[in-house]
């Protein structure tokens, strides 16, 4: 059983998805704290449905229509995203806006140490991950019809303002470090030197690799994508190296040479070479920003959990990270020059 009205979904898909067969089964994917995602099996074909949460939503959150627009622009170029089929903006069909895309047959990794991959091969998976992010950042978003996909002006100032609004809308208590960041981040935002498509949540578990080689077949979960400063994307990925290893994408504290995984310096060097940069600035401000944004996202999960509308049983685990992440965000801000 799923929480979708499969009869209504079948009726809609028959009118919206070309050659849509009869639905044989619907299964919700585990995990995921934002937009619930389902596998739909239908007479030998498999699709993926991604929907907004049911119930009241925070402003501008869970923008599955933006996800659909972006992958629809990227798919014809050969950039690795699932094939988009149809978007349903009528919440009357299943109770929330959703879209249908193709199911990509591949392999996903939840642990950034890649324990299931031979040590000698692990570096090549990270090479592919860095190279694909660089490829995304080198695409011409205007040529792809995405000139209006993000607002003009300094990306980080816009984003701090956006996430502050999201945080206030979901706020349940006062966190001293977050209040300090809300005051300090806007006035210290770095100048923006480049503009590109950015994914917004680029990490190893949002990549689908081929079963037998380090080839990326698809990048998924584009909910936070926009047009902005590509350093936001890279430094979000770079946080994996500074945050304590958690059995997921974070790697901090691991003996990377022993694990066969590239170091942060090696990741920076490879990215710079791929995008034509000589160097990157000090990353402390960017880490503070990305951790602040992460806390704002988790605060949204806390609010949805309080309202009985969290999308995963792991919500409590995620909520418990809010305090430690807020403290680390302020620590990185202090390293970037914030008054202690």
| pLDDT tens figures, 267-319 | 999 999 999 999 999 999 999 999 999 999 999 888 878 777 665 667 788 88
143 and 282 fall within a common domain: yes
Whether residue 290 sits in one domain with residue 324: yes
* Pairing, β 216-219 against β 25-28: unpaired
135 and 94 in a common domain = no
Q: Is residue 223 part of a domain?
A: yes
Which tens digits make up the pLDDT trace of 27-61?
998 865 578 899 999 888 899 999 998 877 666 66
Query: 252 and 311 in one domain?
Result: yes
Residue 277 tokens read as: 């940069």
275 and 166 both lie in a single domain: yes
Express as a percent the part of the chain with pLDDT over 70.
Answer: 96
Please give the Cα distance from 211 to 202 (Å, whole number): 20
CATH number of the structural domain spanning residue 53 = 3.30.200.20
The two tokens of residue 308 are 């009985």
Residue that finishes a domain, picked among 102, 134, 151 = 102
The answer to the question of residue 114 being in a domain is: no
pLDDT score for 306: 79
- Domain membership of residue 71 as a residue range: 6-102
Q: Which of 189, 191, 198, 137 is nearest to 161 (CA)?
A: 189
Q: Are residues 82 and 123 in the same domain?
A: no
Q: What is the CATH number of the domain that holds 269?
A: 3.90.1200.10
Instruction: Tell which of 102, 129, 152 closes a domain.
Output: 102
111 within domain boundaries: no
Q: Tell me what pLDDT residue 54 has.
A: 83
Is 112 inside any structural domain? no
Average pLDDT score over residue span 171-190: 96
Helices (H) and strands (E) in the chain, counts: 11, 9
Tell me: do 200 and 226 sit in the same domain.
yes
Instruction: Mark whether 71 and 137 lie in a shared domain.
Output: no
Q: Which of 102, 132, 161 is the last residue of a domain?
A: 102
**Structural domain contains residue 113:** no
Does some domain include residue 108? Answer: no
- Do both 91 and 147 map to the same domain? no
Q: How many domains does the chain have?
A: 2
Claim to verify: residue 92 and residue 123 sit in the same structural domain = no
23 and 86 fall within a common domain? yes
Distance CA 249, CA 323 (A): 19
Rounded CA separation 213/121 (Å): 9
Over the stretch 55-83, which tens digit does the pLDDT of each residue have?
776 666 678 999 999 999 999 999 999 99
Confidence check: pLDDT of 332 > 60: yes
Please tell me whether residues 164 and 274 are part of one structural domain: yes
Radius of gyration of the chain (CA): 20
Give the residue carrying structure tokens 């499969």.
Answer: 6
Does residue 90 lie in a domain region?
yes
With a CB cutoff of 8 Å and minimum separation 6, the contacts of 187 are: none
Q: Which of 30-44, 167-181, 183-197 has the lowest mean pLDDT?
A: 30-44
* Residue 316 confidence (pLDDT): 82
Tell me, yes or no, whether 191 lies in a domain: yes
Q: What is the pLDDT of residue 34?
A: 74
Q: Quick one: pLDDT at residue 309?
A: 67
Q: Which residue has the higher pLDDT, 58 or 124?
A: 124
Residue 1 pLDDT > 70, yes or no? Answer: no
Q: In this structure, are residues 200 and 222 in contact, taking their beta carbons and an 8 Å threshold?
A: yes
């Amino acid at each position: 059983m799923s929480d979708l009205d499969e009869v209504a979904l079948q009726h809609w898909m028959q009118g919206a998805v070309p050659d849509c067969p009869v639905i044989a089964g619907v299964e919700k994917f585990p995990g995921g704290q934002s937009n619930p995602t389902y596998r739909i099996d239908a007479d030998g074909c498999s699709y993926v449905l991604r929907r907004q949460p049911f119930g009241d939503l925070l402003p501008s959150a869970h923008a599955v229509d933006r996800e659909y627009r972006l992958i629809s622009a990227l798919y014809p170029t050969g950039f690795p995203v699932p094939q988009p089929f149809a978007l349903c903006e009528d919440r009357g069909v299943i109770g929330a806006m959703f879209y249908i895309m193709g199911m990509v047959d591949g392999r996903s990794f939840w642990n950034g140490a890649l324990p299931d991959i031979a040590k000698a091969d692990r570096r090549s998976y990270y090479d592919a991950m860095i190279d694909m992010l660089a490829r995304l950042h080198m695409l011409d978003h205007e040529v792809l019809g995405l000139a209006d996909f993000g607002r003009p002006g300094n990306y980080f100032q816009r984003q701090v303002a956006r996430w502050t609004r999201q945080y206030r809308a979901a706020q349940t208590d006062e966190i001293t470090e977050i209040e300090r960041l809300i005051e300090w981040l806007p006035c210290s935002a770095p100048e923006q030197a480049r503009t590109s498509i950015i994914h917004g949540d680029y990490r190893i578990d949002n990549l689908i690799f081929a079963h037998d080689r380090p080839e990326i077949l698809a990048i998924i979960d584009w909910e936070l994508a926009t047009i902005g400063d590509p350093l936001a994307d890279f430094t979000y990925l770079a946080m994996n190296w500074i945050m304590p290893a958690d059995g997921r994408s974070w790697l901090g504290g691991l003996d990377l040479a022993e694990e066969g995984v590239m170091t942060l310096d090696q990741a920076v060097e490879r990215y710079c070479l791929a995008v034509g940069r000589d160097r990157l600035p000090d990353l402390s401000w960017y880490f503070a920003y990305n951790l602040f944004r992460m806390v704002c996202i988790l605060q949204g999960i806390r609010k949805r959990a309080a309202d009985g509308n969290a999308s995963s049983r792991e919500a409590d685990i995620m909520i418990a990270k809010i305090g430690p992440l807020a403290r680390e965000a302020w620590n990185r801000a202090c390293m970037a020059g914030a008054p202690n």
